[in-house]
Each structure stands twice: as structure tokens, then as C-alpha cells.
């Protein structure tokens, strides 16, 4: 115990403002990295790597294993080189968000346009749910969805409930796939979105989810967009964002969650807008609590 106290005193004696700044910068970097990865599959891999490092450190500390220690020391540099390859999608997404966060141009999505778009989506989803017509509506935020727009049929029309109802009417040419909205414009329909492979839907209470739900969750995993999906079998409405899905939404809750998540940066302060652009999404759990979803 005395040695421990002496070591602490030795550390505090050498502590300077530069040391505090150094530690603070490292802490901020690790915090930002973990925030980027918190809803991705990479966080599971990181946990496994940390657990493996702890186990190896304990083994090499408690036992004298020269051959094993040599093997670990020889393979560690190779594992470090593999990190950029394993985390390539996350690194790319982080750099893109950092570039958008430094963009000082104002967002063209104003408050009136935002309110009108949300009301149109809620009204259309309520009618689609009552009719049990399946639908997938993806709202672009900061991450570009241009590569998925190119897979669909260009529309470039102002969104309206009637347009959404017509597109998702069963057996029409455009009812399969997703529609992508940018602001109040429906830019394309019948778009092919990536399917989720995270297994989140398998852990859900509602396990009978089809391709629309997997595509909604997949689109929220590859971008910060918000996906609204209506089940063709049950008529239930759900929202996917940040790699998570909120189920069993009625019109009121759908309106509340969309307004909380898909809000324009003009409603935020300068710092909040910067952080929203940097992180790419809001905390889904907080939005559930605000709208009464449990």
C-alpha cells in the first residue's frame, strides 16, 4: 500500500499542464472513436480484441512462457496492420462525417419544409398501415445516399401522401424497394437498399420481419438516414436509425420520433449542429423516452 501511495505521489509531482492537455486529447480521441462505433458491428469486435489482450497479458504475466511470448510479439505488428482493413467502412464513414462537420454552409432544410415533410410521411404511413400496404421510406440526412438513388427509378417530385400511396400500391411497378427523400423531394423510387446482417431483428420481440425491415435496418447501418417501414403483413409501423429499430409506432409516436431525430440543424445551436453533423445521428434511446416509447 505504501508503494502504491508513493507511486501516486511521484506521478502527481511530475504532472504539468502539458501532461493534462496530452491526457485530455487522448481521452477525447478515444471518446469520439467509441461514439462512432457504438452502434456498429465493430464494437463487438473491439470487445473481443480487448478481452483477448487482457487474457494474453494475464497469461504472460503469471507464467514464464518464452515461446508463447515470442509468438505474440511476432504476430502483434501483423494484427495492427490488419486493423485499417477490418475497420475500413467505419474509418471511411468517420472521415466523411468529419468533413461534413466542418461545412459552414447552412442546411437548406428549413423549419416549414421540415414540418410539412414530417406531416406528409405520418399521414401516408397511417393510411398505408390501415390498408396493410408495405412501404419503405428512407430520409436522407447528412450522409449521401446517391449510390442507392442510382439503383432506383428517378422521380424528382415534391412528396405528397397521394404520391406515396400510389407508389406503394400492391403490384405496381414501383412498389418493391424503397423511396428516398431529400428534404421535401422524393428523388427516386424502387431503390435497392443494403440488407442488415447484424442480427438485431433476430433478438427483437417481433421476429417475423421481412426484407423491408432488414433493408430499413441496413440503410441505417450504412448511413445516418432515417428509414420508416410499414409491414405488409401486420400493418405495423417502425423506424430504423443508427443501426437500431423502434417498433409498434402509431401516428402520434411516429410524428414525435421523426421530429426528434430528423430535425433540421437550424433548430440546433452552433455546437449542437456541429456535433449532430459529426456523430451523424442522435441517441435513439433518448428519443424513445421523449416520445413515451418503451
Residues 181-238: tens digit of each pLDDT: 998 899 999 999 998 876 656 555 555 568 899 999 889 888 888 999 999 988 999 9
> Exposed, middle or buried by CB within 10 Å (0-12, 13-18, 19+), for 236?
middle
At residue 293, the pLDDT reads 42
DSSP letter assigned to residue 264: -
At residue 238, the pLDDT reads 94
Task: Tell whether the model's pLDDT for residue 43 goes beyond 50.
Answer: yes
| 288 band by pLDDT with thresholds 50, 70 and 90 | very low
Greater pLDDT, 94 or 271? 94
Cell of 179: 423511396
Question: Which range among 78-87, 250-259, 279-288 shows the weakest confidence by mean pLDDT?
Answer: 279-288
> Exposed, middle or buried by CB within 10 Å (0-12, 13-18, 19+), for 41?
middle
At residue 125, the pLDDT reads 96
Report field, pTM of the whole predicted structure over 0.75: no
At residue 98, the pLDDT reads 63
pLDDT tens-digit map of 89-130: 666 666 666 665 544 444 445 667 788 899 999 999 999 999
| 62 band by pLDDT with thresholds 50, 70 and 90 | confident
Tell me the CATH architecture of domain 111-290: 3-Layer(aba) Sandwich (3.40)
Helix (H) or strand (E) holding 218: helix 211-222
| Nearest-angstrom CA–CA distance, 294 and 282 | 17
Domain ranges of the chain: 2-101, 111-290
Amino acid at each position: 500500500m505504501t508503494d502504491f501511495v508513493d507511486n501516486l505521489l511521484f506521478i502527481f509531482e511530475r504532472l504539468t499542464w502539458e501532461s493534462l492537455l496530452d491526457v485530455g486529447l487522448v481521452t477525447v480521441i478515444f471518446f469520439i472513436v467509441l461514439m462512432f462505433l457504438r452502434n456498429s458491428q465493430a464494437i463487438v469486435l473491439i470487445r473481443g480484441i480487448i478481452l483477448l489482450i487482457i487474457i494474453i497479458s494475464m497469461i504472460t504475466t503469471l507464467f514464464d512462457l518464452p515461446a508463447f511470448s515470442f509468438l505474440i510479439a511476432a504476430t502483434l505488428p501483423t494484427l495492427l496492420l490488419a486493423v485499417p482493413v477490418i475497420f475500413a467502412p467505419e474509418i471511411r464513414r468517420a472521415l466523411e462525417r468529419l468533413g461534413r462537420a466542418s461545412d459552414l454552409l447552412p442546411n437548406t432544410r428549413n423549419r416549414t419544409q421540415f414540418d410539412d415533410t414530417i406531416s406528409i410521411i405520418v399521414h401516408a404511413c397511417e393510411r398505408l398501415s390501415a390498408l396493410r400496404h408495405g412501404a419503405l421510406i428512407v430520409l436522407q440526412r447528412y450522409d449521401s445516399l446517391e449510390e442507392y438513388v442510382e439503383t432506383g427509378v428517378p422521380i424528382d417530385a415534391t412528396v405528397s401522401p397521394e404520391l406515396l400511396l400510389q407508389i406503394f400500391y400492391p403490384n405496381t411497378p414501383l412498389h418493391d424497394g424503397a423511396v428516398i427523400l431529400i428534404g421535401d423531394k422524393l428523388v427516386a423510387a424502387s431503390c435497392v437498399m443494403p440488407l442488415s446482417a447484424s442480427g438485431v431483428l433476430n433478438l427483437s420481440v417481433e421476429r417475423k420481419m421481412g426484407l423491408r425491415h432488414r433493408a430499413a435496418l441496413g440503410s441505417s447501418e450504412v448511413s445516418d438516414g432515417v428509414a420508416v417501414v410499414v409491414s405488409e403483413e401486420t400493418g405495423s409501423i417502425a423506424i430504423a436509425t443508427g443501426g437500431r429499430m423502434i417498433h409498434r409506432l402509431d401516428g402520434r409516436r411516429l410524428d414525435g420520433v421523426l421530429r426528434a431525430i430528423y430535425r433540421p440543424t437550424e433548430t440546433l445551436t452552433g455546437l449542437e449542429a456541429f456535433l449532430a453533423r459529426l456523430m451523424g445521428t442522435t441517441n435513439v434511446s433518448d428519443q424513445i423516452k421523449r416520445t413515451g416509447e418503451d
